[in-house]
Amino acid sequence: MYPPSRKDFISLTLSDPHSHAYNNGKHRRQSCWRKWKQLSRLQRSLILFLLALLLIFGLLSYPSLSEQWRGKQCPKLSLSLSHTHTLSHTHTHTHTGRDRDRVFSAGAVDRLEAVRDAFRHAWKGYKDYAWGHDELKPISKSFGEWFGLGLTLIDALDTMWIMGLKEEFADARNWVEKQLTFSKNVDVNLFETTIRVLGGLLSTYHLTGDQLFLEKAKDLGSRLMPAFKTPSKIPFSDVNIGKGTAHPPRWTADSTLAEVTSIQLEFRELSRLTQEPQYQEVVNEIMKLVHKLPGKQDGLVPMFINTNSGQFTHKGTFTLGARADSYYEYLLKQWIQGGKTEDELLEDYLQAIEGVRKHLVRQTGPGRLTFVGELSHNRFNPKMDHLVCFLPGTLALGVHNGLPRDHMDLAVELMETCHQMYKQMETGLSPEIVHFSLQASDGRDVIVKPADRHNLLRPETVESLFYMYRFTKDTKYRDWGWDILQSFNNYTKVSDGGYTSINNVRDPVNPGPRDKMESFFLGETLKYLYLLFSDDMELLSLDKYIFNTEAHPLPIWPSPPK
Ligand code: DMJ
């Protein structure tokens, strides 16, 4: 855990194993030898006899001693015993009695409680030092502002509700009611605001039935609409929600592909709730356009699209990572949201997964780990962003909804690789980007370049672990998630409250805190961990809800879209 002040960081470096501290071992060895020589022959024989006896005794009793030792090394057992006693008195969950019994059975209690503890700790930091601001800076005990919309607070609303943190939720609701306003002269990013704020408000409305959240969602949705007034109908990246104006980034007229194709679940839901069709019309238009656009390669899409021409730009580079990732995720999820009736979405998804298999999936030389690389003008690059770890979960969700069984085989293999991206690091945390070895003669499968060693508390791996556990019930996925939570606690937790992104997952002595807690740590990472450890399969059932790309659950529609 990170200590509170700079002074304490210095004390961490004192334990550096490479430090040249004075060592008098040699002198000690010499004087022992001199004393041994001074003993009589009888004394020496006696001592040797006693040592031999001790050795024989030690060898005989080794199996039982080692058993005892192994028993002592099992912290999970003692943790679960102590927690089951206290929880029955202190827990204040909002689920029904029957649900509550199910959630807290089968020894999952300690893990669920550990995630709630982590959430409370993160929330404490946010409340103490960043209340109502976008992000906590836990080391400097201050805050960072991105759009000035209380991003962390809104991203975390439904997580608190799901975890049954009533008091925390009530405080946050009060802030939304009294302080949250969208009538301010500020440029916001359309995608980020949609997935975090609009998505967060809509899901909280569904979970609570509280009109306040729907009213706020409507207000925000209507203020984001100017982004779609472009010659091509491909939206601009930025909107001023106070002035009602929109524009692309200063340096280009392009928008990022993932950004314009991963706002659909939220806008479509807003139309369904308000009975105002304009929201779904603008986002459906984008999907139709991209569906028939030239420049794809076996369903894989370039990373940029021009807001004037409506054409792909920077063609020839294909990735499942940054700038393209959630395009693929939302193809499948829109199809599920709309009751599996929109054939073009399914067609594009299935074609894309075949494209992924054909062009991007490879195995490492040393350990045969399956991974998804990148393609740049027909050259394969064995590079994979941590962001790509959403894919096992998405593939598994597709199979659960009737898509080809062999997608699950790929999901299982990729899940193992994402797990290894954590396991093979000294801190047990994945870097932002890894490269894989293709040669069998290379020593290791995973290579991390110095610029890629950071960890931003991202959710994608625990997100996929959640899906994989729900669909397979294989407890190894829970164990992997548990290890990740321990690593977050060991290397990113800041003692006075909050968790921080770190600079170097390969340096457990000084991982280099970045002084930033991303809002998705509360909105996604901790939520997925909680759902992973919950035994209650009806808690946000995947047959009733679809999670947006920021982990905000929205209902699967009871009837197909009009
Ligand atoms: C989140 O905002 C979303 O999950 C998005 O799709 C990708 N980036 C972050 C989390 O890593």
Over residues 219-257, the pLDDT tens digits come to: 999 999 999 999 999 999 999 999 999 999 999 999 999
Average pLDDT over all residues of the chain: 87
pLDDT of the residue at 562: 76
Q: Which residue of the set 110, 135, 158, 192 is catalytic? A: 192
Q: How many angstroms does the Cα of residue 48 sit away from the middle of ligand 1? A: 66
pLDDT of the residue at 37: 64
pLDDT of the residue at 275: 98
List C-alpha distances in Å: 323 to 319, 402, 439, 452, 463: 8, 28, 29, 17, 19
Q: Is the pLDDT of residue 32 over 70?
A: no
Q: Which of 501, 549, 552 best tests ligand 1's pocket when mutated (most atoms within 8 Å of CB)? A: 549
Closest approach atom of ligand 1 to CA 326:
6
Q: Whose CA is nearest to atom 10 of ligand 1?
A: 458
Q: Which of 91-100, 352-361, 386-395 has the lowest mean pLDDT?
A: 91-100
Q: Which residue would you say has higher pLDDT here, 229 or 64?
A: 229
Please say if 463 is a catalytic residue.
no
Please say if 460 is a catalytic residue.
yes
Please compute the mean of the pLDDT values over residues 165-171 and round it to a whole number. 98
Q: Which residue would you say has higher pLDDT here, 92 or 191?
A: 191
Q: How many angstroms does the Cα of residue 532 sit away from the middle of ligand 1? A: 18
Residues with CB under 6 A from ligand 1: 326, 387, 458-459, 520, 524, 549-550
Judge contact between 267 and 221, C-beta under 8 A: yes
pLDDT of the residue at 292: 97
pLDDT single digits (tens) 188-219: 999 999 999 999 999 999 999 999 999 999 99
Q: How many angstroms does the Cα of residue 395 sit away from the middle of ligand 1? A: 17
Do you know the residue count of the chain? 562
Task: Tell me what percent of the residues of the chain surpass a pLDDT of 70.
Answer: 83
Q: How many angstroms does the Cα of residue 549 sit away from the middle of ligand 1? A: 6
pLDDT of the residue at 53: 74
Question: Which residues, other chains included, contact 173 with Cβ-Cβ below 8 Å and sequence gap of 6+?
Answer: 157, 210, 212
Q: Whose CA is nearest to atom 1 of ligand 1?
A: 550
Please compute the mean of the pLDDT values over residues 25-39 and round it to a whole number. 51
pLDDT of the residue at 81: 21
pLDDT of the residue at 19: 30
pLDDT single digits (tens) 378-393: 999 999 999 999 999 9
pLDDT single digits (tens) 433-452: 999 999 988 889 999 999 99
Q: Which residue would you say has higher pLDDT here, 4 or 333?
A: 333
Q: Which residue would you say has higher pLDDT here, 15 or 470?
A: 470
Residue 294: how many CA atoms within 13 Å on its side-chain side?
1
Q: Is the pLDDT of residue 114 over 70?
A: yes
Q: Whose CA is nearest to atom 3 of ligand 1?
A: 550
Q: Which of 91-95, 163-167, 296-300 has the lowest mean pLDDT?
A: 91-95
pTM, two decimals, is: 0.83
Q: Is the pLDDT of residue 474 over 50?
A: yes
pLDDT of the residue at 57: 61
Rounded distance between C-alpha atoms, residue 15 and residue 17, angstroms: 6
Q: For residue 245, say whether it is annotated as part of any ligand binding site.
A: no
DSSP state letters, 69-126? HHHHT-HHHHHHHHHHHHHHHH----S-HHHHHHHT-TT-HHHHHHHHHHHHHHHHHH
Closest approach atom of ligand 1 to CA 329:
6
- Which residues on adjacent β-strands are paired with residue 372? 361
Q: Which residue of the set 259, 266, 269, 325 is catalytic? A: 325
Please say if 325 is a catalytic residue.
yes
Please compute the mean of the pLDDT values over residues 96-101 and round it to a whole number. 32
Closest approach atom of ligand 1 to CA 262:
6
- Give domain limits for the chain: 111-148+271-552
Q: Which of 8-17, 268-277, 481-490, 503-512 has the lowest mean pLDDT?
A: 8-17
Query: Where is 252: in which H helix or E strand?
Result: none
Q: Amino acid identity, residue 480? A: W
149-174: b or e for each residue (b if 16 or more CB lie within 10 Å)?
bbbbbbbbbbbbbbbbbeebbeebbe
Please compute the mean of the pLDDT values over residues 495-522 and round it to a whole number. 98
pLDDT of the residue at 137: 98
Instruction: Output the CATH code of domain 111-148+271-552.
Output: 1.50.10.10
Q: Which residue of the set 134, 342, 460, 524 is catalytic? A: 460
Please report which confidence band the pLDDT of residue 46 belongs to, taking 50, 70 and 90 as the band edges. confident
Please report which confidence band the pLDDT of residue 560 belongs to, taking 50, 70 and 90 as the band edges. confident
Please compute the mean of the pLDDT values over residues 68-87 and round it to a whole number. 25
pLDDT single digits (tens) 280-331: 999 999 999 999 999 999 999 999 999 999 999 999 999 999 999 999 999 9
